[in-house]
Amino acid sequence: MRFGIWHPIESAATVAPDAPGVLQTRAEGVLDYERGLSAMVFYAHSGTEENLRAYVTGRGAAALRRAAAAGARWIRFAEAAEPAPAFDELMAAFTERFGSTPLANRAKSA
């Protein structure tokens, strides 16, 4: 899985791919996690039959607003034919490295 370039989070609806996949958001600076510092604020994924553009403008819109409220300023995307396993892998790696899930993933998300 390869992530694209970072975009301002407010442009998510226009830059999200028309393909299924995962996304990550980051803050301008680093956040203090249990086992280190990371700028990552939120990870999410579309459904297998849902493209990322539909996700960010539909069922994921509220989660992106929460991520922005938690400090996310940038977003990027990675296309994935099977988004859920790709997301699970990202979350497991983040949690193992930093000792917790990303800040905005702790809140109820869509």
CATH number at residue 35: 3.40.1440.10
Which residues neighbour 43 within 8 Å (Cβ) at sequence distance 6 or greater? 22, 23, 24, 25, 87, 90, 91, 94, 102, 105
- What's the domain range around 13? 7-105
**Rounded to whole angstroms, how far apart are CA atoms 106 and 6?**
23
Partner residues linked to 42 by β-bridges: 25
Whole-model pTM: value is 0.92
Please report whether residue 26 resides in a domain.
yes
Residues 21 and 80 sit within 8 Å (Cβ to Cβ): yes
Q: How many structural domains comprise the chain?
A: 1
Q: What is the CA radius of gyration of the chain?
A: 13
Task: Say what the pLDDT of residue 110 is.
Answer: 43
Please report whether residue 110 resides in a domain.
no
Residues 92 and 101 sit within 8 Å (Cβ to Cβ): no
Task: Say what the pLDDT of residue 21 is.
Answer: 98
Predicted confidence pLDDT, tens digits, the chain (110 residues):
899 999 999 999 999 999 999 999 999 999 999 999 999 999 999 999 999 999 999 999 999 999 999 999 999 999 999 999 999 999 999 999 999 999 999 865 44
Task: Say what the pLDDT of residue 13 is.
Answer: 96
